[in-house]
């Protein structure tokens, strides 16, 4: 009898061991610290095709992406905070006319520039955002200042400008944001909306590209510092020809930007209305937290499955608590770059 009980006990233990949930090899890899610190950026997603890009313009974009990310990398490598790295990196892109943020912001229907930005701290879940400002040189700096120096998360329009001035941020004449290229894009879109032109294929493609890309060009950055803190930020001029004070996803926490030290940081770019409806940035974090998905699994599901089914286009850059990085987009291209703690640099534009 004792012998039978002993055998039965052994079988119960054996069956119990077999029923234990064993993590996949991918989950095991994801649990390992990949990078002590890392940084990842985007400069917008859309119909970016090599056949439409000159060698000179491609080199210009790649050089600016490299310049921007190296600024953030140097801060992280020297023990600086992810907040500072995100701020300084995005400011490089805000000051470049190449991107739809800051100096290169697109024009509204009324031929003005209205700027949006947001920032989130993964350690505290504190956040700041700004929408519709016209005279603040660095919207991302204003978003961070709203987070650190006010009781609010989002300010907009004239009130946000007053706050920026009170806090000593640089105020510029709205003409600072004027660029001939962006202004001409607005005029082409207005013209194409009014008149059905007799166009040859080349000219038609030129107009169509303007319309398709009128929703894209946002810049963003996610960084993980040596203390394990994640920060994410996003800055944009919004959509060309936007009207009625339209606000997209970039200043919406959970849509355009999200950061949580428990999971990841995310910055989005694309057709903002769909990113808002899908709460894209937060959904990636939620899938990691509640479904134990890896960063790659979560970003792929949200962008390639859920966003695409909604009809949305665009992408994200994301970075998890272990230093894993993900570029995910459902468009023809996305200006993007990353650097890990070893200094390995990746700069890409097209889908590969």
Buried b (16+ CB within 10 A) or exposed e, 84-93: bbbbbbbbbb
CATH of the domain at 230: 3.60.20.30
- C-alpha of 270 from chain center: 9
DSSP letter, residue 279: T
* pLDDT at residue 117 tops 60: yes
144 band by pLDDT with thresholds 50, 70 and 90: very high
- Pair 238, 118: CB distance under 8 Å: no
How many residues are given for the chain? 352
Taking only the tens place, the pLDDT of each residue in 295-343 is 999 999 999 999 999 999 999 999 999 999 999 999 999 999 999 999 9
Among 81, 218, 313, 331, the one annotated catalytic: 218
User: Is 325:40 a contact under the CB 8 Å cutoff?
Assistant: yes
Write down the pLDDT at residue 14: 45
Residue 75 falls inside a structural domain: yes
The CA distance from 294 to 288, in Å, is 6
More confident residue, 11 or 188: 188
Determine, yes or no, domain membership for 6.
Answer: no
24 within a domain of the structure (yes/no) = no
Residue 176 is classified by DSSP as G
Helix axes 201-212 and 180-194, enclosed angle (nearest 10):
110
Active site residue 218: yes
Residue 15 has pLDDT above 70, yes or no: no
Do the domain assignments include residue 16?
Answer: no
- Structural domain span for residue 133: 37-183+207-350
Q: Is 122 contained in some domain?
A: yes
- Give the lowest-confidence range in 14-28, 106-120, 282-296, 334-348: 14-28
Per-chain mean pLDDT for the chain: 88
In a domain, 28, yes or no: no
Q: Report the 10 Å Cβ neighbour count for 79.
A: 10
Residue 268 lies in a domain: yes
- 44 three-class SS: strand
What secondary structure does DSSP assign to 210-243, as a single string?
HHHGGG---EEEEEE-TTS-EEEEEEE---TT--
Helix axes 139-149, 82-94, angle to 10 degrees: 150
Output the DSSP codes for 168-213.
T--B--GGGG--HHHHHHHHHHHHHHH------HHHHHHHHHHHHG
DSSP state of 247: -
- Quick: pLDDT tens for 230-267: 999 999 999 999 999 999 999 999 999 999 999 999 99
Helix, strand, coil share of the chain (percent; to 5): 45, 20, 35
Distance between CA 153 and CA 163 in Å, rounded? Answer: 13
Cβ atoms of residues 326 and 301 within 8 Å? no
Supply the Cα-derived Rg of the chain in whole angstroms. 23
DSSP 206: H
The number of domains in the chain is 1
CB atoms near residue 43 (< 10 Å) = 29
What would the two tokens of residue 296 be?
A: 């790659």
- Asked if residue 291 is part of any domain, the answer here is yes
What does the block give as tokens for 262?
A: 């428990």
């Amino acid at each position: 009898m004792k012998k039978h009980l002993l055998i039965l006990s052994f079988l119960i233990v054996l069956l119990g061991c077999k029923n234990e949930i064993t993590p996949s090899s991918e989950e095991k890899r994801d649990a390992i610290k990949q990078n002590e610190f890392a940084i990842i950026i985007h400069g917008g997603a859309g119909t970016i095709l090599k056949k439409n890009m000159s060698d000179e313009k491609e080199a210009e974009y790649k050089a600016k992406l490299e310049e921007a990310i190296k600024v953030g990398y140097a801060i992280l490598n020297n023990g600086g905070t992810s907040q500072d790295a995100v701020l300084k990196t995005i400011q490089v892109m805000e000051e470049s006319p190449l991107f739809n943020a800051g100096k290169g912001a697109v024009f509204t229907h009324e031929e003005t520039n209205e700027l949006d930005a947001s920032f989130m701290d993964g350690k505290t879940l504190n956040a700041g955002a700004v929408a519709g400002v016209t005279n603040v040189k660095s919207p991302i700096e204003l978003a961070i200042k709203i987070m650190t120096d006010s009781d609010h998360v989002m300010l907009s329009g004239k009130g946000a400008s007053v706050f920026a001035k009170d806090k000593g941020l640089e105020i510029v004449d709205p003409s600072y944001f004027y660029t001939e290229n962006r202004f001409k894009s607005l005029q082409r879109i207005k013209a194409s909306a009014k008149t059905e032109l007799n166009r040859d294929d080349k000219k038609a493609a030129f107009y169509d590209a303007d319309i398709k890309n009128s929703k894209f060009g946002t810049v963003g950055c996610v960084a993980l510092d040596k203390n394990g803190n994640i920060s994410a930020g996003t800055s944009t001029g919004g959509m060309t020809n936007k009207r009625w004070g339209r606000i997209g996803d970039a200043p919406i926490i959970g849509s355009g930007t999200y950061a949580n030290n428990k999971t990841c940081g995310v910055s989005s770019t694309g057709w903002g209305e769909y990113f808002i409806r899908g709460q894209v940035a937060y959904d990636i974090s939620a899938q990691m937290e509640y479904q134990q998905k890896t960063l790659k699994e979560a970003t792929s599901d949200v962008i390639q499955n859920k966003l695409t089914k909604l009809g949305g286009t665009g992408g994200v850059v994301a970075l998890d608590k272990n230093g894993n990085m993900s570029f995910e987009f459902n468009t023809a291209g996305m200006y993007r770059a990353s650097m890990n703690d070893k200094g390995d640099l990746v700069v890409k534009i097209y889908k590969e």
